A = this chain, B = another copy of it.
Amino acid sequence: MTAPLKVGLAGLGTVGASVVRLIEGDRDALTARCGRAVEVVAACARDPKKDRGIDTSKLRWFDDPKKLAVDPGIDVFVELMGGDGDPAKAAVEAALRAKKSVVTANKALLAKHGLELAALAEENYVALNFEAAAAGAIPIVKTLREGLSGNTIARVYGILNGTCNYILTRMEQEKLSFADCLKDAQRLGYAEADPTFDVEGFDTAQKLSLLASLAFGTKADESAVYVEGISSISPADLEAAEELGYRIKLLGVAVRTEHGIEQRVHPTMVPKDSAIAQVMGVTNAVTVDVDGFAPLTLVGPGAGGAATAASVVADIGDIARGVRTHPFGRKTSDLSAAGKAPMQRHEGGYYIRLMAVDKPGTAATIATRLAEQQISMESIVQRHRGTKGGADAKSASGPVPVILITYATTEDAVRQAIDAVKRDKVISGEPQLIRIEKNR
């Protein structure tokens, strides 16, 4: 019988405690599945005495995660501290140098330093596993890294942030404003006191950069991702989407284009009958478009202690089985730089919501400006005051909302048309632009 795999855990919050619970929970099944026993033998946490609902009496305690990381008594270092710098980074580096495999749920660290850490893991012939860093319990890292080895991936996109999807779902279903939903999400613990990181798309961007690396062999690089959040989405947009056969989701999209890999995060109109449009509340989902067959979609919980711990334990299980893959699916020296998404060249359909001045010739002016940019329209809806959805209009003679859906065009063309319309002074306020992502 092989000796048990000894785990040292840095960070004993909700996820860490769930990891201990899972490993201790059904030892025999885990041993049977991994071919050897797994034991948590040591931990590092701010307050060793805190009641976590788990038995921590047999754990050796460390004050310094770096010391835990290199302790001869552990085989695997599990990093659940979070943060894109030290102490997490220093501890992970120390563990890898000491030839310990590492499991981490730390997307921020990987999006910033994943490449150098992966190289360090390779040099030391150990694993650096991070299933839990993107989309919680959804096995998307394994699927991209191992499940689609022979395939050319055309696009990976998904709902990677439960907070945003929760807010958009409630805005849509209860016709609430962004601000009201955010407040409620904060009250219910679905959003942080400072929600910027989630609602402005940065969390999604970090996760996307990891998935893009696995799918396309790019170097994980958060700064290569174009990012727009959901704070500008209004109930009027959700209502218009509904009428036009779409839903609005905050998507992370990585797609192969003729100009390279385009990585972007933004509110997106998705067809109401697509798999991704059915995903409601805090649930996450990822769709992978593969050349040659219909897309794969994986749906599940993207956050929460138990869901995240499931992926952490699966990663530990692979190490117990002796499986070691390149962290990003191929040698770090085979990964290529991810160029910043050139959004002016982005091609796709657009939803445009304008507040048009209510005077003769306005519609003609708008239509002309779009035509000048060779933009074809799939639909135009003009709201008149008193009709449904016309509540946006400020007064009886004020501006009226006009909603345009374009066929595929370029971001550059749309921006130029909008600028021209602005110069014509036939609209008031800032137009709302939402990109459309179609099924292939």
- Distance in angstroms from A73 CB to nearest chain B CB is 21
Most buried by B among A300, A313, A316: A300
User: Is the CB–CB distance between A33 and B149 below 8 Å?
Assistant: yes
Contact status of A326 and B35, CB under 8 A, knowing A152-B25, A298-B297, A299-B299: yes
User: Is the CB–CB distance between B148 and A314 below 8 Å?
Assistant: yes
Q: Which of A205-213, A223-231, A304-312, A356-364 contacts B (4 or more CB under 8 A)?
A: A304-312
User: Is the CB–CB distance between B139 and A314 below 8 Å?
Assistant: no
User: Is the CB–CB distance between B139 and A26 below 8 Å?
Assistant: no
Q: Which of A187-195, A328-336, A404-412 contacts B (4 or more CB under 8 A)?
A: A328-336
User: Is the CB–CB distance between B146 and A32 below 8 Å?
Assistant: no
User: Is the CB–CB distance between B307 and A33 below 8 Å?
Assistant: no
User: Is the CB–CB distance between A293 and B149 below 8 Å?
Assistant: no
Digitize A129-156: 1 where CB-to-B-CB distance is under 8 Å, 0 elsewhere: 0010000011100110111111110000
- Distance in angstroms from A332 CB to nearest chain B CB is 11
Residues of B within 8 Å of A293, CB to CB, are 137, 300-301, 304, 306-307, 310
Residues of B within 8 Å of A92, CB to CB, are none
User: Is the CB–CB distance between B297 and A147 below 8 Å?
Assistant: no
- Residue of B139, B150, B283, B294 near A301 (CB, 8 A) is B294
Distance of A301 Cα from B148 Cα, bound (Å): 13
User: Is the CB–CB distance between B217 and A32 below 8 Å?
Assistant: yes
- Distance in angstroms from A416 CB to nearest chain B CB is 37
User: Is the CB–CB distance between B149 and A314 below 8 Å?
Assistant: yes
Residues of B within 8 Å of A34, CB to CB, are 149
Distance of A307 Cα from B326 Cα, bound (Å): 25
Identity of the chain B residue whose Cβ is nearest the Cβ of A152 in the assembled complex: B26
- Distance in angstroms from A259 CB to nearest chain B CB is 19
Identity of the chain B residue whose Cβ is nearest the Cβ of A131 in the assembled complex: B147
Q: Does A436 contact B (CB under 8 A)?
A: no
Identity of the chain B residue whose Cβ is nearest the Cβ of A323 in the assembled complex: B323
Residues of B within 8 Å of A321, CB to CB, are 146, 323, 325
Identity of the chain B residue whose Cβ is nearest the Cβ of A285 in the assembled complex: B297
User: Is the CB–CB distance between A146 and B297 below 8 Å?
Assistant: no
Q: Does A29 contact B (CB under 8 A)?
A: yes
Identity of the chain B residue whose Cβ is nearest the Cβ of A329 in the assembled complex: B33
Identity of the chain B residue whose Cβ is nearest the Cβ of A26 in the assembled complex: B152
- Residue of B217, B275, B331 near A29 (CB, 8 A) is B217
Q: Does A98 contact B (CB under 8 A)?
A: no
Residues of B within 8 Å of A300, CB to CB, are 293-297
Residues of B within 8 Å of A147, CB to CB, are 131, 139, 142, 311, 314
- Distance in angstroms from A301 CB to nearest chain B CB is 4
Identity of the chain B residue whose Cβ is nearest the Cβ of A214 in the assembled complex: B33
Q: Does A377 contact B (CB under 8 A)?
A: no
Contact status of A314 and B150, CB under 8 A, knowing A217-B32, A294-B301: yes
Q: Does A240 contact B (CB under 8 A)?
A: no
- Distance in angstroms from A424 CB to nearest chain B CB is 44
For chain A residues 260-311, which have a beta carbon within 8 Å of chain B?
275, 278, 283, 290, 292-301, 304, 306-307, 309-311
User: Is the CB–CB distance between A317 and B146 below 8 Å?
Assistant: yes
Identity of the chain B residue whose Cβ is nearest the Cβ of A297 in the assembled complex: B299
Residues of B within 8 Å of A242, CB to CB, are none
